[in-house]
């Protein structure tokens, strides 16, 4: 494992911000952390980066303890914080080169290619850039060195929809290069598009880990019939079945051929089949919280 935590815990006085987190991330994997404000997402990332000492438990990056050996651990990481504090007396290129030298990972030709992809002029002083442009520069500083692990805290803040899509494409490319990506987000659709696994936090505790490959195979089905519906057969992969006179609703992760075969023998008047998505799982734990 490139990243591993074991019972990682952080208290602020009597308040427990993170409670016994067990999480791992492998090379070539994109892992998302979901949860509303106050669920422990940013606390977890800061502990991994050695910015804070854990109250209990441990975390390791590439075999280095994130607190006791934090300098060596961070050499394997590029990090984008949720709130940026940049050296605004530098140009974008100067900042990126400076951070790359600190990490001893030259950016080579990737920097200019990425700058063109993100449509940003890195020769301009940071003081002259908008908040969205500054975030693009910070993203280049994170993506260009190709570190083994990329950690991003709410990376799409201030990005327009087009640049969000560009960033998600770059995260997929990083995974294809064998890098690991760990990022927190409030936006379920972003997580669905790019993640291999998702960890859901609730009040500092890890309450669910979802493999996205399994979720992408699942569908929510709602069918209405002309008359009283017979019971749905015990199809493999059927769960959450609800029946209401002329309508049935259920989740289904089995072969579509079996489902459509049964539906084709019924007098169906209305049918909705849609991807299950993260929303249903997320709202089990957080209701309608953002």
**208 and 72 both lie in a single domain:** yes
Please tell me the predicted confidence (pLDDT) of residue 194: 93
Select the highest-mean-pLDDT range: 166-170, 219-223, 234-238, 283-287: 166-170
**162 and 245 both lie in a single domain:** no
Distance from chain centroid for Cα 175: 13
pLDDT at 290 over 50: no
Percent helix, strand, coil in the chain, to 5, is 35, 30, 35
Last-in-domain residue among 195, 213, 231:
213
pLDDT, average across residues 38-64: 95
Identify which of 120, 118, 117, 94 has the alpha carbon closest to the alpha carbon of residue 107. Answer: 94
How far is 76 from 221, CA to CA, in rounded Å?
44
> Which one-letter DSSP state was computed for residue 230?
P
Domains identified in the chain, total number:
2
For the domain that residue 246 is a member of, what is the CATH number? Answer: 3.30.70
**175 and 137 both lie in a single domain:** yes
Read off the pLDDT of residues 227-278 as tens digits, 9 standing for 90 and up: 877 677 778 888 877 888 788 888 888 888 888 888 888 889 999 988 877 8
8 A C-beta contact, residue 5 and residue 54: no
**171 and 194 both lie in a single domain:** yes
> Residue 260's domain spans which residues?
218-286
**177 and 37 both lie in a single domain:** yes
CA dihedral 238, 245, 270, 274 (to 10 degrees): -30
Residue pointed to by tokens 């008047």:
269
Read off the pLDDT of residues 61-108 as tens digits, 9 standing for 90 and up: 999 999 999 999 999 999 999 888 899 999 999 999 998 888 888 786
**157 and 208 both lie in a single domain:** yes
CA dihedral 135, 141, 142, 148 (to 10 degrees): 180
User: The whole model's pTM is what?
Assistant: 0.84
């Amino acid at each position: 494992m490139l990243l591993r935590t074991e019972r990682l815990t952080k208290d602020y006085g009597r308040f427990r911000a993170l409670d016994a987190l067990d999480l791992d991330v492998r090379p070539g994997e994109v892992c998302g952390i979901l949860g509303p404000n106050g669920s422990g997402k940013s606390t977890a990332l800061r502990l991994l980066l050695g910015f804070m000492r854990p109250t209990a438990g441990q975390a390791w990056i590439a075999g280095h303890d994130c607190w006791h050996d934090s300098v060596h651990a961070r050499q394997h990481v590029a990090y984008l914080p949720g709130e940026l504090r940049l050296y605004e007396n530098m140009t974008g290129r100067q900042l990126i080169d400076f951070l790359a030298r600190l990490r001893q990972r030259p950016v080579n030709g990737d920097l200019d290619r990425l700058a063109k992809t993100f449509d940003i002029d890195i020769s301009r002083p940071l003081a002259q850039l908008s908040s969205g442009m500054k975030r693009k520069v910070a993203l280049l500083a994170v993506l260009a060195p190709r570190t083994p692990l990329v950690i991003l805290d709410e990376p799409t803040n201030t990005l327009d929809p087009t640049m969000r899509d560009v960033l998600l494409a770059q995260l997929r490319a990083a995974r294809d290069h064998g890098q690991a990506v760990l990022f927190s987000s409030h936006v379920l659709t972003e997580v669905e598009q790019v993640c291999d696994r998702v960890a859901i936090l609730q009040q500092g505790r890890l309450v669910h880990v979802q493999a996205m490959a399994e979720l992408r195979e699942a569908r929510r089905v709602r069918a209405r019939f002309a008359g009283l519906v017979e019971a749905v057969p015990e199809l493999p992969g059927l769960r959450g079945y609800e029946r209401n006179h002329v309508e049935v609703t259920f989740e289904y992760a089995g072969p579509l051929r079996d489902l459509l075969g049964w539906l084709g023998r019924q007098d169906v008047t209305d049918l909705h089949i849609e991807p299950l998505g993260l929303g249903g799982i997320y709202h089990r734990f957080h209701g309608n919280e953002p």
